[in-house]
Amino acid sequence: MGGECCPPQQWRRRPRAGASSRSRFRQRRCPRPRWRRPAAARGAGGRRAGPGMGNALGPAAPRAPRRGEPLGSPGSFDELHRQCKEVFPQQMEGVKLIVTKTLSSHFQVTHTVHMSTLGPSSYHFNATFVGDRQLGPTEAFPTLIGDMDNSGSLNAQVLHLVAERIRTKAVFQTHQTKFVTWQFDGEYRGDDCTATLTLGNPDLLGESVILVAHFLQSITSRLVLGGEMVYHRRPGEEGAILTLAGKYTALKWVATLNVGYGGAHASYYHRANEQVQVGVELEANTRLQDTTFAFGYQLNLPQANMVFRGLLDSNWSVGGVLEKKLPPLPVTLALGAFLNHWKNRFHCGFSVIVG
Amino acid sequence: LSDQVSFIGTVAAAGGPGAAPQGLRGWLRRAYRFATDRNDFRRNLLVNLGLFAAGVWVARNLTDIDLMAPQPVP
C-alpha cells in the first residue's frame, strides 16, 4: 500500500432488514498521509512512492511531460506591430552622415551630421553604454543611451534589469534647457504574460500625470491577447481610454489588431520567402476623423549586399529607400525618394553610414 | 365621389412606374456622392478597409517571387 495510490473503495450490498447489526458496508479508507523524510535522506531501500504521493510516502516520481507546445513570452506591447513597421522605409531628405565608433565591448559613440533641405541642419552626438548581463542578441542590461544635438536638447534612456523577470526604464527628453518628457516604466515578463506600468510626466505640484498600463497574455503558442489602459489627469480634467489588442502569429505571417475608443490599428506582415517581405497597415482615428492605409515591401538581396524598401499609401504618396553595403569598407550608402502626388511634393535624400 | 376615386386611382397608377426610377436614381446619386466625398469618415474607412483587404490578398498571393532567378530566354 505504501507504494500505491489509495485503492478504490470497495462497496458491498446494504444489509437486509433484520440482518446482523454489524454493518457489512465497509469502506477501505486511505490512511492519513504522514510526512516522511525524502528517500534520499532516508537512504537506499526506502519505499518508492507513486505519483501524487510525494508528501505521504516519499518523493514523488517525476510527472509526465506536459502536453502541448510551450506558450512563449508575448513580448512588449509596444512591439506588437514592430515586424510590419520595419518593412516600411524611413522618410529621407537632405544629406546625412553617420559615423559610429565602437570604443570597447561596452561603449559606442555615434556622430550624425544632417544637412536638411526642409529645416535647419543639425549635429547629434550619441553615446551608448551596454552592461554585462545579456539576455538576447539585442537585449543587454544595464543600457544607458544619451543623445544630444547642437542646440543642447537631450534625449536619454536608462534600461535596467532589477530582477530576473522585472525590468525598468527611465526616459528623459529636454528641449534646450526645459524638460519636455520624463517617463518611468516597470515591466514584468513572465513565461506567458507581460505586464507593464508606465508613469508619464508625473507632476506632484501641478497634480498631473499620465498612467499607462499594458497587459499581454499568450493564449496559445500563436495567439496573444491583451489590452492597454491610458489614464491622464490634469487640473480640471481627467480621462481614461481602453484599447484591446490581439496578435496571431503563423509560420509565414503575423496579423495584429488594436481596437479602442480612440480608433483602430490593424497590421499584416507576410514573409513570402527569404527575399521578399510585405507589410500592410490600416489606421483609423475617431478623434481626428481620419483613416490611412499603407502598403510596404522589403526586398533583401544579400548576394548583392542590397536592401530595398518601398511604400505606397492612401495619402497618394509613393517612396522607396535603397541601402547598399560597400564591402570591404564598413560603409553603407542609402538613397531615398518620396513623392506625394496629391500635394505635388517631392523630396529625396541620401545618407552615408560608416561603422 | 366615384369620379374622385377613379381620378385618385389614375394619379396613383401614373406615379407608380415613374416613382421606381426616381427612387433608384436618387439612391444612385446618393451612393455616388458618398463614394466621392473625401471628407466623409465612414466613406474613407470603408475605402481603406477595402484597400487593406486587397493589400493582404496581394501579400498572400502575388509576392512569392524569386528575385535571383535567371531571366527567361526568349
Whole-number pLDDT of residue B1: 57
Q: From CA A49, how far away is CA A40, in angstroms rounded?
A: 12
State yes or no: pLDDT of A36 exceeds 70. Answer: no
**Minimum distance, in Å, between the CA of residue B14 and any CA atom of chain A:** 45
Of the pLDDT bands very low, low, confident and very high (cuts 50, 70, 90), residue B65 is: confident
| pTM: predicted TM-score of the whole model, two decimal places | 0.75
Query: Would you call A151 exposed, middle or buried from its count of C-beta atoms within 10 A (0-12, 13-18, 19+)?
Result: exposed
Q: Is A299 helix (H, G, I), strand (E, B) or coil?
A: strand
Contact of B57 with chain A, judged by CB distance below 8 Å, is answered with no
**Minimum distance, in Å, between the CA of residue B45 and any CA atom of chain A:** 6
Whole-number pLDDT of residue A188: 96
Q: Give the closest of B48, B66, B67 to A282, CB-based.
A: B48
Whole-number pLDDT of residue A9: 45
Mean pLDDT of A257-268: 95
A121-156 pLDDT tens trace: 999 999 999 999 888 888 899 999 999 999 999 999
Nearest CA in chain A to B58: A278
Fold held by A81-354 = Porin (2.40.160)
Domain segments of chain A as ranges = 81-354
- Number of C-beta neighbours around residue A297 at 10 A: 23
Distances (CA, A) of B50 to A80, A353, B54: 23, 39, 6
Beta strand A154-161 with A166-175 is antiparallel
Complex prediction ipTM: 0.74
Cβ contacts from A onto B, under 8 A: 65
Which of A248, A257, A280 best probes binding to B when mutated, by most B CB atoms within 10 angstroms?
A280
CB A108 within 8 A of CB A127: yes
Nearest CA in chain B to A287: B41
Of A33-37, A219-223, B37-41, highest mean pLDDT: A219-223
Cβ of B64 within 8 Å of Cβ of A272? The answer is: yes
Cβ of B48 within 8 Å of Cβ of A292? The answer is: yes
Mean pLDDT of A270-281: 94
Q: Which of residues 17-56 of B touch A (CB under 8 A)?
A: 41, 44-45, 47-49, 51-52, 55-56
Chain B residues closer than 8 Å to A291 by CB: 41, 44-45, 48
Q: Which residue has the higher pLDDT, A33 or A118?
A: A118
Contact of B5 with chain A, judged by CB distance below 8 Å, is answered with no
A31-35 contacts, C-beta under 8 A, 24 or more apart = A31/A1, A33/A57
Q: From CA A248, how far away is CA A254, in angstroms rounded?
A: 6
β-strand partners of A167: A161, A187
State yes or no: pLDDT of B37 exceeds 90. Answer: no
Nearest CA in chain A to B53: A280
CB A94 within 8 A of CB A104: no
Cβ of B65 within 8 Å of Cβ of A276? The answer is: yes
Q: Comparing A71-80, A248-257, A287-296, which segment has the lowest mean pLDDT?
A: A71-80
B2-12 pLDDT tens trace: 666 555 555 55
Distances (CA, A) of A93 to A319, A321, A339, A349, A350: 12, 11, 11, 4, 7
CB A143 within 8 A of CB A131: yes
Contact of B8 with chain A, judged by CB distance below 8 Å, is answered with no
Of the pLDDT bands very low, low, confident and very high (cuts 50, 70, 90), residue B62 is: confident
Longest dimension (CA), chain A: 109
Whole-number pLDDT of residue B20: 65
- On the CB side of A118, CA atoms within 13 Å amount to 9
- pLDDT, mean over chain B: 78
Of the pLDDT bands very low, low, confident and very high (cuts 50, 70, 90), residue A40 is: very low
